[in-house]
Amino acid sequence: MFKEELLTTIRTEKRNTLTEVEAKRWLQEAGIVKVVETVEAKSKKEAIEVSKKLGFPVVLKVLSPDISHKSDVGGVKVGLKTASQVASAYAEIMSSVKQKQPAARISGVTIQQMARPGIEVIMGMSKDPQFGPVLMFGLGGVFVEVLKDVSFRIVPLVRRDASEMISEIKGFPILKGYRGQEPANIPLLENTLLKLSEFVDANPEIKELDLNPVFAYKDDAVAVDARIIMEAAGSPSQS
């Protein structure tokens, strides 16, 4: 199984943070959410080749087990439409990351097609010392940091919890299709939260999890980025 292979890999490499590719694959194979296809490239030349194969425009992100928040270190470039733009973006990412986080191990970059714009939401999990795993839902992207418009529920969730998590955020009218904008498929988002609750409950080795952003459409939902941090070996959740 992929999970066992994954746990063996990160223990061998003595790390607790999954790469974006690993996190997305695990979530997709578990049937939690659709993800944007993401491919690794270890050099500028390979990044150009992968970009051409995936099709422009593309997004480049730094690939490092030591960097969780890639945008904070200049590790993300979006809307790249040509091979020359990919080459420049690769060089800029490497330069910025080495300057801002010189000790980070860098494996290259990940490349994915630009997803169709949708309503950006975040789904995540963190562990409360008293209550254990707690799920979060809210408006995603930059909104989550600026507006902090999020709701929380303790795992495991039932459908009523998922429904309330979505409806109680201040940005709920946006999800309903504010001023003629395409609405989100709210039952689908509820189902995703319930699947995420089951996934977290079944995998106590997970310490933190973020899907941000998830692009919510009227007929679908797709995770553009994913982050998973595992418990350290030997912690209570690992025993």
Residue 239, pLDDT > 80, answer: no
Within a domain: residue 18?
Answer: no
53, 80, 114 - which closes a domain: 114
User: What is the domain-level CATH number for residue 225?
Assistant: 3.30.470.20
Within a domain: residue 83?
Answer: yes
Q: What is residue 238's predicted lDDT score, i.e. its pLDDT?
A: 52
Residue 139, pLDDT > 50, answer: yes
CA distance 163 to 154: 14
Q: Is the distance from CB of 62 to CB of 109 less than 8 angstroms? A: yes
3-state secondary structure the chain: CHHHHHHHHHHHCCCCECCHHHHHHHHHHCCCCEECCCEEECCHHHHHHHHHHHCCCEEEEEECCCCCCHHHHCCEEEEECCHHHHHHHHHHHHHHHHHHCCCCCCCEEEEEECCCCCEEEEEEEEEECCCEEEEEEEECCCHHHHCCCEEEEECCCCHHHHHHHHHCCCCHHHHCCHHHCCCCCHHHHHHHHHHHHHHHHHCCCEEEEEEEEEEECCCCEEECCEEEEECCCCCHHHC
Q: What is residue 236's predicted lDDT score, i.e. its pLDDT?
A: 55
pLDDT digits (tens, 9 = 90+) for 216-238: 999 999 999 999 999 987 655 55
Q: What is residue 228's predicted lDDT score, i.e. its pLDDT?
A: 95
- What average pLDDT does this structure show over 193-213? 96
Residue 66, pLDDT > 60, answer: yes
Q: Assign 142 a pLDDT band (cuts: 50, 70, 90).
A: low
81, 97, 114 - which closes a domain: 114
Q: Which amino acid, one-letter code, is at 154?
A: I
Q: What is residue 147's predicted lDDT score, i.e. its pLDDT?
A: 75
Please tell me whether residues 168 and 77 are part of one structural domain: no
User: Phi-psi category of 101—alpha, beta or left, where left has phi over 0 and alpha has psi -120 to 50?
Assistant: beta
Q: Which amino acid, one-letter code, is at 172?
A: F
Please tell me whether residues 192 and 149 are part of one structural domain: yes
Please tell me whether residues 176 and 198 are part of one structural domain: yes
pLDDT digits (tens, 9 = 90+) for 160-178: 999 999 999 999 999 999 8
Domain ranges, residue 63: 37-114
Within a domain: residue 198?
Answer: yes
Q: Assign 179 a pLDDT band (cuts: 50, 70, 90).
A: confident
**Paired tokens of 127:** 């562990």
> Lowest mean pLDDT: which of 61-75, 96-110, 182-196?
61-75
Please tell me whether residues 186 and 136 are part of one structural domain: yes
Q: Assign 68 a pLDDT band (cuts: 50, 70, 90).
A: confident
Q: What is residue 69's predicted lDDT score, i.e. its pLDDT?
A: 82
